[in-house]
Amino acid sequence: MNKTASQLIVLGALACSTQLAVADVSDSDKKAAAKMATEVCASCHGPAGRSTAPTFPMLAAQQPAYLETQLKAFRDQTRGDPDAIAYMWGMASQLNDDTIVALADYFGKQTPAPGRAGSAAAITAGKQIFQQGVPSLQIPACETCHGKDAAGIGAIPRLAGQHAGYLLKQMLVIQNVLRTAPVMHGVVKDLSRQQMEAVAAYLASL
Amino acid sequence: MNVPVVRSLVGGALASIVLLGLAAPAWAVPSYARQTGMACSTCHTVFPELTPFGREFKLNGYVLDNMKQIRGITIERQETLSLNSIPPISAMLQVSYTHTQMAVPDSVAANAANGALARDGDLLFPQQASLFYAGKIADGLGAFLQLTYDGAADHFGFDNTDVRFAHHLALSGASDNDLILGLTLNNNPTVQDAWNSTPAWGFPFAGSNVAPTPAAATQIDGTIGQNAGGLGGYLWWNHSIYAELSAYTASKVGGSHPLDSSQGPALHGLNPYWRLGWETRWDQNALFLGTYGIEAHIQPGGVAGTLGGETDKYTDYAVDGQYQYITDDHILTVLGTYIHEKQRLDASSQFGLSQNVDDTLNTMKLAANYYYRREIGGAVGFFNTIGTADNLLYPAGVPVTGSSSGAPNSRGFIFEVNYLPFLNVKLQLQYVKYLKFNGATTDYDGVGRRAADNNTVYLLGWFNF
């Protein structure tokens, strides 16, 4: 079995398992999550999870299972990229499981921000990588896991409309193994910065 | 009391103020980091300048916490206590070295007359050492309290203080229609402000407290600070519009109480302070434009009977702006303010403390700073103060602090190189270059001192922990 195929099997299993893990959210938890999202999270992630600064990712319409996984990783200090340490280790430290699920549910239901235009050449190059991968480097097409419209599924995050700067930084921290993401380590290992910028520009435009 | 005596009193007071106490107060507080579990870089580009999130934290009442709380509730589940399990205490130490281009005259009168000079080059260990209580008091209620030991003055004093309450009001349930209503109780107009373009937290963020500084400053530019007590209400709408109305009255530190005429200038009655501003953020940019001001009624003090009868009325109108570009690698900030002060000196002129009844004083400050990876950076600042000549307010013949022309005009540049080996430690080299000092370039004090003699090299080690 080649590397790409084995990566996809792992991802598929991951997506299915985390989809099942998303629990029901009580009305009181929904209300508390909406209050926290408005009064706390919005300071960085913007109203309804639509942030303006690329330091802070868009959370609107993000996959709840992915958000749940990440919030728990922040709380448990197992996601160790610089911004996670500086911002989210503290912010998530006192969150309980119910609040995490409710927050994930809240942001998952928000309307995503529209895509933003970027360099036409970068978007074209990025679209090709997203849809076809880089066969010469055995890099699979991103859409295989993240979906044709980059909306993500389960624990695989939505990338469409995300800030290009945030996406680029995540690829870099994963490549440098500052953020643990088993499948993505193999995917981005040989990507050049230019290729990363192209993919990020394309995804931000969606 | 005759005019020469008053003049010498004013001159002496000015000298002691100028030589001992006008360093810009400016601190960042690690206990907020402990309370939130977030690094300094979350709230500060480089301390003490605030990021957009730092402004949100402040305007939300310093209460965001991510630590275990000691709680109390009633049977109706109403919260009666929510206290950090670890007290939000932190400390600051500043160690500095000051060197002026020419030493100031020896303070022994006979030596001064002979042209003898004080030793130039002054190490202050510490320049200042502060203890803070900075953090949450209860839900919605937080504080920034600072106790400072001043090395040159050799005393502990109550420094900048801001206790505030903030409450979110959800408007029509829409998440993008957010309103914060707040109250602030503080001791320095603009200490409650969230932008670094206003005086209390403005550039330069640190400076020598032993080098000569210009005699004239507007009331809102630190003159009232820490001798005032104020209560105000503010609103912060959609992370964009800020409006505040406060009122200040005298709260003198030390001296005789209740206040009598032996005290220095004291606010009289309630004095309104206003603030209005607009911030917009896009990508990695934040732009703020605002206006602020105060109408201060002041009894001059220092002469028997000056706490009765007439008051001086100072009306400060100011505009300010701030632009920030913040990325991981590059941080650029440009900020500035212009303050126009109208002085109606009914009391001072009556008691022979000012020559004119009506004076004006205008101050402009501009600064730009840049940092690479929050580690190494530099700053350039420009300041210019222009006002009405007044031979009693700014008397001639007082070494260093006097003005031979009676004019308060001062102008110059500030250059800085800063290195931060850690986010909470700043090593600073600052050079202040005066183009004009107290009205002139040469012989500005009537005793032969040049403006350039006050050019200052200042080395600072600044530690927050």
pLDDT exceeds 70 at position B13: no
Nearest-angstrom CA–CA distance, B202 and B179: 26
| CB-closest option in A53, A90, A165 to B36 | A90
- Cβ contact (<8 Å) for B284 and A55? yes
B56 contacts in A (CB within 8 Å)? 43
Taking each helix axis from N to C end, the angle separating A3-21 and A64-75, rounded to the nearest 10 degrees, works out to 90
Tell me which chain A residues have a C-beta less than 8 angstroms from the C-beta of B177: 47
Smallest CA-to-CA distance from B265 within B311, B229, B218 is with B311
Measured between alpha carbons, how far is A86 from A166 in angstroms, rounded to an integer? 15
B127-172 pLDDT per residue, tens: 999 999 999 999 999 999 999 999 888 988 888 999 999 998 866 5
Q: Kindly calculate the radius of gyration of chain A based on its CA atoms and give it in whole angstroms.
A: 16
Closest CA to B179 of B235, B232, B233: B235
Q: Say if residue B26's pLDDT is above 50.
A: no
Within 8 A of A54 by CB-CB distance, chain B residues are 283-284
pLDDT at B22: 39
The gap from C-alpha B6 to its chain's centroid, in whole angstroms, comes to 28
Q: Which of A85, A93, A96 to mutate to test the interface with B (most CBs of B within 10 A)?
A: A93
Task: Map tokens 């550039």 to a residue.
Answer: B203
pLDDT, average across residues B336-355: 96
Q: Which residues of A touch B42 (CB under 8 A)?
A: 86-87
pLDDT at A104: 97
Give the three-state DSSP class for B245.
Answer: strand
Task: Say yes or no for a CB contact (<8 Å) between A37 and B37.
Answer: no
B131 at interface of A, judged by CB pairs closer than 8 A: no
Question: For residue B285, what are the CA distances in angstroms to B68, B325, B403?
Answer: 34, 5, 43
A39 to chain B: which residues are within 8 Å by CB?
Answer: 60, 168, 178
Strands B285-299 and B312-326: antiparallel
Give the DSSP H/E element, type plus range, for residue B220.
none
- Calculate mean pLDDT across residues B183-196: 97
Output the CA torsion A96→A98→A104→A107 (10° steps).
-100
Q: Is the model's pTM score more than 0.95?
A: no
Please name which of A98, A104, A131, A117 lies closest in space to residue A41, comparing C-alpha atoms. A104
Contact B175/A37, CB-based, under 8 Å? yes
For B166, half-sphere exposure in the C-beta direction (CA atoms, 13 angstrom radius) is 28
Task: Say what the pLDDT of residue A182 is.
Answer: 84
CA distance B34 to B349: 52
Mean pLDDT to the nearest integer, B220-231: 92
| Chain A CB contacts of B60 below 8 Å | 39, 43
- Can you name the residues that pair with B82 across neighbouring β-strands? B71
* Chain segment B434-452, per-residue pLDDT in tens: 999 999 999 999 989 999 9
Q: What is the nearest CA distance from B248 to chain A, expressed in angstroms?
A: 30
Q: Identify the top-confidence range among B17-31, B111-125, B198-212, B256-270.
A: B198-212
Mean pLDDT of B362-378: 97
Q: What is the pLDDT confidence band of residue B1, given thresholds at 50, 70 and 90?
A: very low
CB B18 within 8 A of CB B207: no
Q: Phi, psi (5° rounding) for residue A71? A: -60, -40
On chain B, the residues whose CB falls within 8 A of the CB of A117 are none
Of B41, B53, B170, the CB nearest to A43: B53
**pLDDT digits over B81-131, tens only?**
988 888 889 999 999 999 999 999 887 766 666 778 888 899 999 999 999
Q: How far is CA B165 from CA A120, B68, B83, B140, B178, in A?
A: 49, 21, 15, 5, 17
DSSP conformation letters of B51-82: PHHHHHHHHTTS----S-EEEEE-TT--EEEE
What's the pLDDT score for residue A20? 45
Q: Does B154 touch chain A (CB under 8 A)?
A: no
Superfamily of domain covering A22-108: Cytochrome c-like domain (1.10.760.10)
- Asked if B77 reaches chain A (Cβ–Cβ under 8 Å), the answer is no
Q: Cβ of B326 and A53 within 8 Å?
A: yes
Omega before residue B126 within 30° of 0, cis: yes
- Please tell me the distance in Å from A200's CA to the nearest CA on chain B: 15
Nearest CB partner across the interface for A90, out of B66, B177, B326: B66
- Identify the architecture of domain A3-13+115-205 in CATH: Orthogonal Bundle (1.10)
Which residues have C-beta within 8 Å of that of residue A53, sequence separation ≥ 6? A44, A163, B52, B281, B283, B284, B326
Q: Which residues of B touch A87 (CB under 8 A)?
A: 38-39, 42
The helix or strand, by DSSP H or E, that contains position B22, with its residue range, turns out to be: none
- Check residue B336 and give its pLDDT: 98
Q: For the segment B289-304, what is each residue's pLDDT rounded down to a tens digit? A: 999 999 999 999 888 8
End-to-end CA distance of chain A: 33
Residues of B in contact with A43 (CB under 8 A): 52-53, 56-57, 60, 239
Residues written for chain A: 206
**How many other CB atoms are found less than 10 A from the CB of residue B85?**
9
Quote the CA–CA distance of B433 and B380 in Å, as a whole number.
Answer: 11
- Domain residue limits, chain A: 3-13+115-205, 22-108
Angle at B264 between CA B450 and CA B407, to 5 degrees: 30
Residue B261 is predicted with a pLDDT of 81
- Rounded mean pLDDT of chain B? 90
Q: What is the pLDDT of residue B9?
A: 38
Decide: residue B451, CB within 10 A, 0-12 exposed, 13-18 middle, 19+ buried.
buried
Per run of 10 residues, the mean pLDDT along chain A (length 206 residues) is 50 48 77 90 92 95 97 94 93 94 96 92 96 93 96 96 96 93 90 96 97
> Chain B closest CA to A134's CA: distance in Å?
29
- Residue B100 CB-density burial (10 A; 0-12 exposed, 13-18 middle, 19+ buried): buried
pLDDT band (50, 70, 90) for residue B10: very low
Greater confidence (B361 vs A11) lies with B361
B284 touches chain A (CB under 8 A): yes
| CATH superfamily membership of B3-464 | Porin (2.40.160.10)
Cβ of residue B135 closer than 8 Å to a chain A Cβ: no
Same fold, A3-13+115-205 and A22-108: yes
Question: Residue B283 and residue A87: Cβ atoms within 8 Å?
Answer: no
Most A-contacting residue of B169, B175, B284 (CB-CB within 10 A), to test interface: B175
Chain A residue numbers with beta carbons less than 8 Å from the beta carbon of B281 are 52-53
Task: Give the distance from CA B276 to its chain's centroid.
Answer: 19
CB-closest option in A38, A82, A85 to B178: A38
**Position B254 confidence tier, pLDDT thresholds 50, 70, 90:** confident
